[in-house]
Amino acid sequence: MAFDHPSLAGHRAIMIGGPDLGASLAARMRRADADVTELHWGDAAGIDADDAAAVGAATEAEVKRQDSLDVLVIDMLPLVAPRPLDATGPAIVAQALARVGGVATAMAAAFPALRRSTDARIIIIGHRYGQGVAEGIAPYNAAAWALVGLTRSAALDWGRYGIATTLLLPGAATAQFEAARAARPALIDALVAQLPLGRMGDPFDDIGGAVVMLAGPAGRFINGQTIHADGGRHIAGAVIDPARISQTR
Amino acid sequence: MKTNANLPPRLLQGRVAVVTGSTAGLGRGISLALARAGANVVVNGRDPERGTAVMADLSRIGAAAILVTGDVGEAAVAPRLIAEAVAHFGRLDILVNNAQARVPYAPLENTDISARFTTMLYSGLYGSLWTAQAALPYLRASGQGRIVNFGSLNGVSGARYAGPYNVTKSAIEALTRTMANEWGRFGITANAVLPSGLSESYARFFAGDPARGERAARGNPMRRHGDPERDIGAAVVGLASEAAAYITGQSLFVDGGQSVLGMPQFHQLGD
């Protein structure tokens, strides 16, 4: 067991990610010397994240192109426009849950290769609304919670093959967050000051770091768990929520 | 572009770690893992003979280590432990509160149970608090201070006949969250590991009935017991490393997913 820098040498990974975090996570894994392939969604050249079958097919094609796979990282949750539940039709819920379907089909496509690895991980990027919830975004909350069930199911079904599956809930200073900070700096700074660590997570160092930790020797026996890389936000109580402030009438 | 150029060769190169209750079992495994990651290790436990044996194991892998014997459930021990660690290595970065006394299984209606609560709370809860209080100035000065405490699925599930242990372990989780909320401003992270590893006491639990041990391993989602060094120790190394700088207040099961299933009520009186 090596605890050397770089810690992921010899690990082959696929990172399915959106515009907010994906590139940072892949870059941090590369810094640990993992061999990372990125499958993008959210831009014209990327895969259609709303089409679960297409996500599965893209993953399957990439797995076939490689001869081995050790780590699958999937960041699929969509951005949704806030609206109350009474104005949320079934199509909007179905669209959000289709992203969970995409995670599941990607996992299934990667499974045969992960099973052949001696040190396999699935790291699903979720959201803290899969632990608590926020007002006005029921489809997102439902999708985030669904990922908890998916993570635990993979842990039970595939743990016997040495595949450890975890759900990582990040608290990151993404582009979306920085836009919110630019619009309301005093409010957002007050929010950040309430976090136990008093700062937002850096997508590369902090969230990418957590991915590297889970993908490395530390994550071998961590299975079915929800991990918060959030500076302690999940234990900090009612931290001001900018989404809520913007919706309060 | 950030590169690997300035990284030390090992994840915890040059850091100093105190591991309580590390003369056997999980604590021994954690010490070995930290040492393999490049940390200097302060071994602690009540039994000098077993401590010496762990020191020999550490020496064989080329680790710098010292042994400080004593029971962290006694108020005077924690300040001495931390003082000797800092006197020898000049700093302290990582505190692992693994020590925990054991008492025989007993039902809650047992008239002696309160005394057993006291024994367990002093060893586990107060021991974790006192070492952390003594370590705080040094963890602040470290700039990358890490506290790793130990909870248990037993506490979460309320395992029968283990009341004093369950209560102590859940109290340690609450203590951990409080540490995270109070000391995060110093850049210190505090997390609790809830392990399932083949510790010495766990091995003893199965010794009289190896088939039961095999059944327990098969019942785990990963179909095996956790290894003190390669699984539990590795997770502690991960939490202590730079990669986990933004993880704090977490109760982290390192149990192969056993907590997803829940824990069978397999404690028998007389075990």
Judged by CB atoms closer than 8 Å, whether chains meet at B257 and A33 is answered as no
Distance from CA of A90 to the nearest CA of B (A): 31
* A71 bridge partner residues: A13, A121
Quick check: B257 and A223 CB within 8 A?
Answer: yes
Query: Which active-site residues of B does the annotation give?
Result: 165
Q: Which residues of A19-48 are buried (b: 16+ CB within 10 A; e: fewer)?
A: bbbbbbbbbbbbbbbbbbebbbbeeeebbe
Q: In the 3-class helix/strand/coil scheme, how is chain B assigned residue by residue?
A: CCCCCCCCCECCCCCEEEECCCCCHHHHHHHHHHHHCCCEEEEEECCHHHHHHHHHHHHHCCCCEEEEECCCCCCCHHHHHHHHHHHHHCCCCEEEECCCCCCCCECCCCCCHHHHHHHHHHHHHHHHHHHHHHHHHHHHHHCCCEEEEECCHHHHHCCCCEHHHHHHHHHHHHHHHHHHHHHHHHCCEEEEEEECECCHHHHHHHHCCHHHHHHHHHHCCCCCCECHHHHHHHHHHHHHCHHHCCCCCCEEEECCCHHHHCCCCCCCCCC
Strand arrangement of the beta sheet that strand B189-195 belongs to: B65-69, B40-45, B16-19, B94-97, B146-150, B189-195, B251-254
Tell me the percentage of chain B whose pLDDT exceeds 70: 97
Chain A, nearest residue to B261 by Cα: A156
Which of A27, A217, A235 is closest, CB to CB, to B180? A235
Rg of chain A taking only CA atoms, in angstroms: 18
A186 falls within a domain: no
The answer to whether residue A86 is domain-embedded is yes
Residue A106 lies in a domain: yes
**By the 8 A CB rule, do B241 and B12 touch?**
yes
Q: Smallest Cβ distance to A232: which of B37, B181, B238?
A: B181
Instruction: Give the tens place of pLDDT for each residue, A169-192.
Output: 999 999 888 998 999 999 889 889
Q: Please give the structure tokens belonging to residue A31.
A: 């810094």
User: Two tokens at B136?
Assistant: 């705080």
Minimal CA separation from B163 to chain A, in Å: 25
Say if residue B48's pLDDT is above 70: yes
At A99 the pLDDT is 95
Phi, psi of A70 (to 5 degrees): -115, -35
Q: Which residue of B has its CA nearest to A211?
A: B243
| Pairing mode of beta strands B65-69, B94-97 | unpaired
- Please count the structural domains in chain A: 1
Q: Which chain B residues contact residue A195 at CB under 8 A?
A: 184
Q: What is the ipTM of this complex?
A: 0.94
Q: Write down how long chain B is.
A: 271
A57 within a domain of the structure (yes/no): yes
% chain A with pLDDT above 90: 71
Which of B58, B54, B67 has the alpha carbon at shortest distance from B18? B67
Establish if A208 belongs to a structural domain. yes
Q: Is residue A82 assigned to a domain?
A: yes
Cβ separation of A216 and B238 shorter than 8 Å?
yes
A 14-33: CB under 8 A from B: 27, 31, 33
Cβ contacts from A onto B, under 8 A: 169
Contact list in B for residue A156 (CB cut-off 8 A) is: 221, 257, 260-261
Q: Please, are residues B55 and B67 in contact by the beta-carbon 8 Å criterion?
A: yes
User: A3: closest CA among B116, B243, B2, B119?
Assistant: B243
> What one-letter code names the amino acid at B22?
S
Please answer yes or no on whether A213 and B4 come within 8 Å at the CB atom.
Answer: no
In this structure, is residue A68 part of a structural domain?
yes
Alpha-carbon Rg for chain B in angstroms: 18
- Whether residue A194 is contained in a domain is answered as no
DSSP label at A197?
T
Write down the residue that tokens 């009341």 correspond to. B163
Can you list the domains of chain B with their CATH numbers? 16-199+228-254 (3.40.50.720)
pLDDT (mean) for A89-98: 90
- Closest CA–CA distance from residue B213 to any residue of chain A (Å): 17
Which residues have a Cβ under 8 Å from the Cβ of B28 and sit 6 or more positions away? B22, B54, B57, B228, B229
| Tens-digit pLDDT profile for residues B88-123 | 999 999 999 999 999 999 999 998 899 999 999 999
Q: pLDDT tier at B265 (50, 70, 90 boundaries)?
A: confident
Q: Does position B2 have pLDDT exceeding 60, yes or no?
A: no
Nearest to A120 by CA among A231, A214, A241: A214
Pair B68, B19: CB distance under 8 Å: no
Query: For position A158, which CATH number holds?
Result: 3.40.50.720
Is A225 in contact with B2 (Cβ distance < 8 A)? no
What tens digit of pLDDT does each residue of B138-180 get? 999 999 999 999 999 999 999 999 999 999 999 999 999 999 9
DSSP state of A165: E
Cβ separation A220–B234 shorter than 8 A: yes
Instruction: Determine the Cα–Cα distance for residues A244 and B18; give it in Å rounded to an integer.
Output: 43
- What DSSP character marks residue A163? E
Q: What are the structure tokens assigned to B261, written together?
A: 């299933």
Q: Do B249 and A232 touch (CB under 8 A)?
A: yes
Question: Closest chain A residue to B178 measured between Cα atoms?
Answer: A235
Over residues A24-70, the pLDDT tens digits come to 999 999 999 999 999 999 888 899 999 999 999 999 999 999 889 99
User: Domain of A146?
Assistant: 12-173+202-231+239-247
pLDDT higher than 80, residue A246: no
* pLDDT (0 to 100) of residue B67: 98
pLDDT score recorded for residue B202: 78
* Residue B146 CA to its chain's centroid (Å): 12
